[in-house]
Amino acid sequence: MSAVKSVPPKPPIAKKSWGEAAKAYLDRRAMIMLFLGFAAGIPILLIFSSLSLWLREAGFDRSVVTTFSWAALGYSFKFIWAPLVDAVPLPILTRLLGRRRSWILIAQLLIILAIYMMASINPTDESSLHYMAMAAVLLGFSSATQDIVVDAYRIELAPASFQSVLSAMYTAGYRLGMIFAGAGALYLADYFGSTEELYSYEAWRNTYWIMAAVMGVGVVTTLIIREPVSEQIRIDRPASDYSRLVLVFVLSVVAFIIAFVNVGALMPETDSVMFAFVLEVVHLLASLLVASVVGYLSVKIGVVKQEMAYTTWVEPVVDFFRRYGKKALLLLALIGLYRISDIVAGVISNVFYQDMGFSKTDIANAVKLVGVIMVIAGGFLGGILAQKLRMMQAMMVGAILACVTNLLFVLLTYHPGSLPHMYVAVIFDNLAAGLASAVFIAFLSALTSIRFTAVQYAIFSSLMTLLPKVMGGYSGAIVDNMGYPFFFIFTFAIGMPILILIYLVDKHIVIGDNDDIYGDNDKLTKANPNLTDTNEPPRASE
């Protein structure tokens, strides 16, 4: 029997005026998230679009370029080590800075190291290309770790009703970081003398060095902000227990790598894009299964105490299903598919613009500058909508806009080189993406238990990107075989079933404390008698 209980009606929740909703962005906590978001936004484009153009100028074809996007799969698997971030204190640093700030600082220092390593490698030297891949994986891992802790910090910083504001400011900072790592990287590479016709390693090296230096903004922010008040109950354990916990994780990672290499060698080669995608999914799942078995056996033979392993990795998942019962499966489906349309389309976007005849400066001006400004505007609009509308109403608006705007790129394929058509597509697509992203972050935050902040949010955000990023790795091959118009119509089509999931979640589950479920003469209460009370402890308040 599910532990979810029905609750009696409550008084209607007062809706904020438009002025009150907008004024919330001046709150000090919102400013903190702006700067942390900036630090989080820098690394991702250094793995995706900026690295894609670097490799493209270095002479690599589309399939190799888009395959490098898999280096960011750490974002999709961060739920595996998020429990360690939640459970393991860092020697000395935790005592000086607190649990959240100490982990943020370590992640930021690793990001700086990874960017420096990438800058030190010339990809045209084929013998060093795998070192570039390793550095990119380290960047993805450390950046994903920073995201784990910043997300936990954000959720613990303010009550659920304020999360839409924090998520919008985080998104704004994130996109500003992307402007610097996207448009800024293109401007710098051009300034230092690298072009598609005349590749210069030194230009890209200097560009990435500057990106590493700019991460200092995140380090300074981490050192001056305060540690949030946490409702989590901490159990002090001997250092050896934490070491054993980390050892189990390391053994599982080693098992995953060994399995990934060996299973990959057994996979047949194929020219079919769809079959290749299926094989890669099997490849990934088989490697994860091996890693899980090794982790399970490690616990069974006593490498770490079973009670500690259960509390760290299993209890956060059990808590989610305890709160939502069978409806948790519906939520997980929505989480895993909500952003699939724009993420899959975004992996190949820079290569698409280049193939449409636009220069790096055109791309920088339209996509990395104007586009990101529109994402920020969309984020603010999404934050306001999340305060004014019920959560799922705002989610529906975001989902519709995110998939429909992909059709604008089909129009652009019939007008290659046309800046007006490019700007129309970029402006509306990025406005929709910003709105959907801000609303979705608020949605995930509302689902997260304050007792398992880092772990549960990491699971949700990992699930959000896993399938889209795996599919995105094949975007280049899909375009090579089917062409750009088919590809963008495909990304539109895969976004449409999300609307059904949103409708079902809205009908059966109450999400967020601004869902006025008891207003309108109890209309929603009568339509949905199975409203739930999750018995959540309050988040930290001002």
Same-domain status, 195 and 333:
no
What is the band of 11 on the pLDDT scale with cuts at 50, 70, 90? very low
Is pLDDT at 217 greater than 90 in this prediction? yes
Nearest to 464 by CA among 345, 335, 347: 335
Residue % of the chain over a pLDDT of 70:
84
Same-domain status, 256 and 218:
no
The token pair at 132 is: 């570039």
What is the band of 522 on the pLDDT scale with cuts at 50, 70, 90? very low
Same-domain status, 410 and 491:
yes
Across the range 175-184, mean pLDDT stands at 84
Mean of per-residue pLDDT scores for the chain? 80
The amino acid sitting at 522 is D
In a domain, 333, yes or no: yes
116 exposed, middle or buried (CB, 10 Å; 0-12, 13-18, 19+)?
middle
CA dihedral (296, 298, 300, 304) in degrees, to 10, reads: -110
Predicted pLDDT at 232: 58
| Alpha-carbon gap, residue 443 to 9, rounded angstroms | 22
The amino acid sitting at 66 is T
pLDDT in tens, 141-150: 899 999 999 9
Is pLDDT at 34 greater than 90 in this prediction? yes
| Alpha-carbon gap, residue 55 to 72, rounded angstroms | 16
In a domain, 14, yes or no: no
Across the range 240-250, mean pLDDT stands at 84
The token pair at 361 is: 């400066």
C-alpha separations of 33 from 160, 196, 218 in Å? 15, 37, 11
Same-domain status, 191 and 285:
no
The token pair at 460 is: 């949700």
CB-CB contact of 56 with 196 (8 Å): yes
Domain span including residue 475? 320-527
Runs of H (alpha helix) within 304-418: 306-309, 315-324, 327-337, 340-347, 349-355, 360-363, 372-388, 391-404, 407-413
What is the DSSP secondary structure assignment for residue 121, as one 8-state letter?
-
Examine the fold and report which residue of 196, 227, 258 is the final residue of a domain before the chain moves on: 227
In a domain, 313, yes or no: no
Nearest to 364 by CA among 193, 216, 178: 178
| Cβ atoms within 10 Å, residue 257 | 13
Predicted pLDDT at 119: 92
What is the band of 514 on the pLDDT scale with cuts at 50, 70, 90? very low
Across the range 286-294, mean pLDDT stands at 89
Burial 229-255 (b: 16+ CB within 10 A, else e): ebeeeeeeeeeebbebbeebbebbbeb
Same-domain status, 382 and 523:
yes
Predicted pLDDT at 530: 35
pTM > 0.85: no
Across the range 462-481, mean pLDDT stands at 72
Predicted pLDDT at 108: 97
CATH number of the domain bearing residue 429: 1.20.1250.20
Nearest to 174 by CA among 340, 28, 35: 35
Higher pLDDT, 498 or 261: 498
- pLDDT-wise least confident of 50-59, 266-275, 284-293: 266-275
Predicted pLDDT at 527: 34
Examine the fold and report which residue of 227, 247, 273 is the final residue of a domain before the chain moves on: 227
What is the band of 18 on the pLDDT scale with cuts at 50, 70, 90? low
In a domain, 486, yes or no: yes
Same-domain status, 248 and 355:
no
- pLDDT-wise least confident of 59-73, 117-131, 175-189: 59-73
Same-domain status, 206 and 254:
no
What is the DSSP secondary structure assignment for residue 77, as one 8-state letter?
S
Nearest to 157 by CA among 88, 216, 104: 104
**Rounded to 5, what percent of the chain is helix, strand, coil?**
75, 0, 25
Same-domain status, 371 and 486:
yes
What is the band of 519 on the pLDDT scale with cuts at 50, 70, 90? very low
| Cβ atoms within 10 Å, residue 489 | 15
The token pair at 270 is: 């194929």
Same-domain status, 168 and 262:
no
What is the band of 33 on the pLDDT scale with cuts at 50, 70, 90? very high
Under DSSP, is residue 465 helix (H, G, I), strand (E, B) or coil?
helix
Is pLDDT at 524 greater than 50 in this prediction? no
Across the range 423-439, mean pLDDT stands at 89
| Alpha-carbon gap, residue 265 to 311, rounded angstroms | 36
Nearest to 444 by CA among 535, 344, 512, 514: 512
pLDDT in tens, 375-398: 888 888 888 887 778 888 888 999
Under DSSP, is residue 75 helix (H, G, I), strand (E, B) or coil?
helix
C-alpha separations of 255 from 73, 79, 130, 286, 294 in Å? 17, 17, 20, 11, 7
Predicted pLDDT at 5: 43
Across the range 320-342, mean pLDDT stands at 88
Nearest to 391 by CA among 524, 231, 539, 540: 524
Same-domain status, 221 and 280:
no
Predicted pLDDT at 315: 87
In a domain, 492, yes or no: yes
- pLDDT-wise least confident of 66-80, 83-97, 304-318: 66-80
Number of domains within the chain? 3
In a domain, 536, yes or no: no
- pLDDT-wise least confident of 13-22, 71-80, 301-310, 412-421: 13-22
Is pLDDT at 368 greater than 50 in this prediction? yes
Predicted pLDDT at 209: 95
Q: Dihedrals φ, ψ of 269, to 5°?
A: -85, 145
Higher pLDDT, 42 or 340: 42
Is pLDDT at 69 greater than 70 in this prediction? no
| Alpha-carbon gap, residue 454 to 456, rounded angstroms | 6
Examine the fold and report which residue of 186, 201, 227 is the final residue of a domain before the chain moves on: 227
What is the band of 525 on the pLDDT scale with cuts at 50, 70, 90? very low
CB-CB contact of 477 with 407 (8 Å): no
Same-domain status, 40 and 127:
yes
In a domain, 38, yes or no: yes
Same-domain status, 90 and 152:
yes
In a domain, 309, yes or no: no
What is the band of 221 on the pLDDT scale with cuts at 50, 70, 90? very high
CB-CB contact of 386 with 164 (8 Å): yes
Place of tokens 């209890």: 315
